[in-house]
Amino acid sequence: MIQKREQEKAKQNLEQFFTEKNLIVTPNPMSALDTVQLLTTDDICRLMRVDRHVVYDLANSGELPGFKKKGWKFRLQDFQRYLANQVEKE
């Protein structure tokens, strides 16, 4: 009985740690990839109201992290981080 309570407490502590660190735990790590939201160059252009060459320049310089797979793709989280950094600079 005590061992079961200790296991449950350890599980809760671990879950709290992962929540605080914004970590995702999944039995199948590949399933976590399903939750990644990707933006295209066109998406970024619409959101920022800029021309494609601006997005290409940001991507090629590494200022806006992305990868090429049938055109540039950007993780939503990386784009949000980029915007937050731009706001801090102002």
Summarize the confidence of residues 17-36 as an average pLDDT. Answer: 59
Query: How far is it, in rounded angstroms, from Cα 8 to Cα 10?
Result: 5
Query: What's the pLDDT score for residue 1?
Result: 55
55 within 8 A of 41, measured Cβ to Cβ: yes
Q: What is this structure's pTM? A: 0.60
Query: What's the pLDDT score for residue 41?
Result: 95
What's the pLDDT band for 82 if we cut at 50, 70, 90? very high
